[in-house]
Structure 1
Amino acid sequence: MESIVALEALIKENERKIDLQKQQIKNHEAGINKLSRMAFASSENSLEIATELVEKYKKMLEQLQSIEGKELEEKERLVFLAERKKYFDAQPSRIKLNVEQSNDKKLEALRIIEELPIDVNFEDKELFEMATKSIELGLGDLNDISNKLEDIKSEFKAIKDQIDEKNIQELSTIDFFLPIVVLHFYVLSSNIIDNIEFDNERALQKKEAVVNEINAKREKFTTSLKEKEELLKQKQSEENSDKEEIKELESIIKSLNNELKKLKEIKVPEVKIKTFSGFPKYQDWWIRELWVSHQAYFALFKWKEIVSNLCATTEQKKAWSIIFDRWVFIKKLLNDKGSLAYNYHFAFDSLMSTYGELEEELEIKNIESMEMIINQITKKEDFSKNVGFHNINTSYLKFKMDKLKSKDKDSSSDMLF
């Protein structure tokens, strides 16, 4: 700034005046160069004025330098912010192009960026650290499931708002429970689909590996065959050829042709792509006649078993058993309510169809056909069998009996005193 340069010049100029006046006064006092009274007074006055001016100019300079420093800091800050903005604006593209991180981590990092508040940013390294932990904890899946539950609740509320409250006031206790059961079906069906896709991908990879192996062998044998055939022609054209060597080459060529023929005859089986079009359809009469009909109970039992076979892991089978119990509980409760709960019942079934991949059989012919099948299976079933862990004296029964005995003892002791 020009003002700073000017002030610095004024300070130097007055500092020289101070030095000059001090030297004159010093020489006068030492008797080297005596000054008149007027000249001495003038020197003292000039020294005082110059000193005051230096102090004044220095304060002004400090003030200007302070302002300039703030401006410089602000300028540097703005440059830094501009560079950071450029860095974070390019962050999604940079993450996508990162070759050191897996696709899962890159996708998770991008998802984290999207959910961050506007003024919050993290370095690439920090994002990948968060993404790694998020994947370990399955936070993305949990977030998706949470959002799905909110969707189910919202849709359920919208349907329920259209129902006469008088008809469903006794069912309010399951309002919270019902969307969760729908969500459980959604998660289970999603897991089954994931399992099927994994199996399909693994089967395709296995087929591809077999095909690649066959092609590699074919290429190897073909190359070797050409080399041996050329060598054979060369040997046969020679005047003093070794007959044994020619014979050996012919044998090798024959063997290679046989191997190539075998490879051509190999038929790689086509991969049968599995699909999931939803859970098998259930029938309403199974629920309505439950506990009063062997056929209804047995139909549900078999239906549960079919779905269980779709589950790939023990955890999924256990989860399905719990989900099934809760679904039957709600269905039975709504069924027993009769026509008063039809709309509420329909809302539950609609949510199951939309989110849980679960449909009810509506074709009467199919229902009748299934009824005949169930009747036939029921006749063949031995209902005298018990499960492998059958025990009439269950662990809870033992606990309850011990608890009651302990209670009786305590009561007797109280009576004695």
Structure 2
Amino acid sequence: MREITDGATQFDRSSDLGVKEFRSLGGGVTTWAPPTQPRRLSLSWESMQLDDAYHLDRLARRVDGPGPIAVVDPGSDNWLSGSLGSGRISLADYSEWVADPTIILPPAPLDYDVMRISLQATTGNRRIMFRRPDGSGYPVTPGMRVAWWVPGMIGVLNDLRIYTYPSAKATGGGGSFGAGPANVDRPFIFTIPEGVTHIVPVIWFGKTFANLPVSGAYLRQVRPEDSTARAVTRQAFNAGVQAGTAPVTAYTAGTGVTLSVSAGKGMLVSTGVAGSALSFGGAKTYAVSPGEIVSLTHAVPGAVTSVLVWTDSDGATVDQSRDTLIGRAPEGAAYVWPKVEIGAVATATAVGTASLEITSGPDVPPGEGTRSYSVTGYSVSPVPGRVRDRDVSLELVEVTE
């Protein structure tokens, strides 16, 4: 793959929506849109350098083979597909999400549904690889700098990694480069080494969770803002709740649970009957915004399972994330109400320490994909008075792989 030195003087990168319009006898209109919208590229250069012109001429006339060809679009904000970039399932298929067996994927995926995953073990490989629809990696050139980030997953990630390969279909023999646990709050910026033609971005998980919606991600050539972008994590519990020294008013006792105070610490006893639970705060104590990821840790005695209850601005329940310490605030959520369901605790025992971290990241640009292209139009003409310079125009369209 070759980088074209001169910038195009005309560059149109619109998607072909392919929408068809139908009008009924009664005058009503319905529309039909295909599930994929191939992008069309229209580029023109004035006085292109001769070596670049020769390269495009070979591609357009298919001198080296019938194609298709790979194109790294400098105008793309996100190389990932629309499904990978948005965290949604495309065409009832999640083959682009190449997950280790430890990752539990939806048993019956639905088209355009939110991708939800579960992880119940922190041993073994805990990865998801983001591949192109045909299973290959993303084309790159040595020396290119790329940025890879999943800002909305900070609370569960252990690492951001990029696997490198010497060919499009290679699945082994490449390198592995990572950001490390301390740096997942920012884009992983990586310079492509020599001998690498394709890369695959990878996320590694470090915490268990259940039915967690996957957030948006992006992979692209580095932009200036990638160097300074950061996700923000805040601690929602006050110092007393964190240390386990808060007054009992910081908690809400459910059925079967009795709270008391000893040496300034909140204590609890539980009968273990159905509904026995301890809640942190109330239905409108800890504010969240939709899309934020919430991570709860605690040392509540007799804990059986944890529940994150999402409530609206009136304190009414919007949804629940059950059997997990980590969840993502759904649409309509204004607060999170953490609860711990408890078994039998016969003697008064300290509530214990706890933490509630809420992480928010910047919005992710829509995934545009990096499908292969076919050249459908080409023109070249010498520049008057400068026969070694060329005015070149090229038309390309994304093709099914």
Same fold? TM cut 0.5: no
Specify which structure has the higher proportion of helix: 1
More strand by share: 2
TM-score range, shorter chain: under 0.3
Higher Cα Rg, which structure: 1
Q: Which has the higher relative contact order, 1 or 2, with Cα contacts under 8 A spaced 6 or more apart? A: 2
